[in-house]
Homo-oligomer: A and B are copies of this chain.
């Protein structure tokens, strides 16, 4: 067996999914294009040919996952709002569950680590990109939280959403103490995680 982590799909797809794995494992700087292309089983020059540069490859890794994630988030949100009996749990579920389900398919969980790493890197270019392309999603959820928590001042609400975001990012990036027990199936573990996150977020958002 050749030392390839990936040998299916087109060259572009192999680079993308291999990049996701290696960026999560070693970081953006830590994963070199030589390691990446070797693991993907493609030529070194293929990255610059198909993506233009390493930085544009990173952007594509983000775009591929986040487009799907935020589309599903907005879809789930649209299904729970507009009625009189919308609960905080419903909105949080629409926010959290798509992210957890993303961890379901191959390498999806690794992408969450990529995302957490990107947050920690404080890269302004990346933050602009995130705000530019997906800021409207966060804005829509924030508006819904504000409607469901009218007793909170705007600064107070922003504080709490920020802390919830920290907890979610931390949990989804998977570097906490909690690991899946060997006897628990992936599906069950996902459901347990969702339950913990939502209950925790409800308590943190709505306490007096």
Which residues on A are within 8 Å of B, measured CB to CB? 25, 27, 29-30, 113, 116-117, 119-122, 155, 158-171, 173, 175-178, 196-197, 199-200, 202-204, 207
Contact = CB atoms under 8 A, between A and B. Distances in A.
B207 A159 contact: no
A136 B57 CA distance: 42
Copies, count? 2
Which 10 pairs, one residue from A and one from B, show the smallest C-beta to C-beta distance? A166-B170, A120-B120, A203-B207, A162-B176, A29-B29, A163-B167, A166-B167, A167-B167, A203-B203, A117-B120
Nearest to A27: B121
A94 to B, nearest CB: 19
Contacts of A204: 167, 200, 203-204
A192 B171 CA distance: 25
A177 B177 CA distance: 26
Given A116-B120, A163-B176, 17 more contacts: A25-B122, A29-B30, A119-B175, A120-B120, A158-B177, A162-B176, A162-B178, A163-B170, A163-B196, A163-B200, A164-B167, A167-B170, A167-B204, A169-B170, A203-B204, A203-B207, A204-B204
B175 A158 contact: no
A166 B171 contact: yes
A163 B204 CA distance: 11
29 contacts: A27-B29, A27-B121, A113-B122, A117-B120, A117-B122, A119-B120, A119-B175, A120-B121, A120-B175, A155-B178, A158-B178, A159-B200, A160-B196, A161-B177, A162-B171, A162-B177, A163-B196, A163-B197, A164-B167, A166-B168, A166-B169, A166-B171, A166-B176, A167-B167, A200-B207, A202-B207, A203-B203, A204-B204, A207-B207
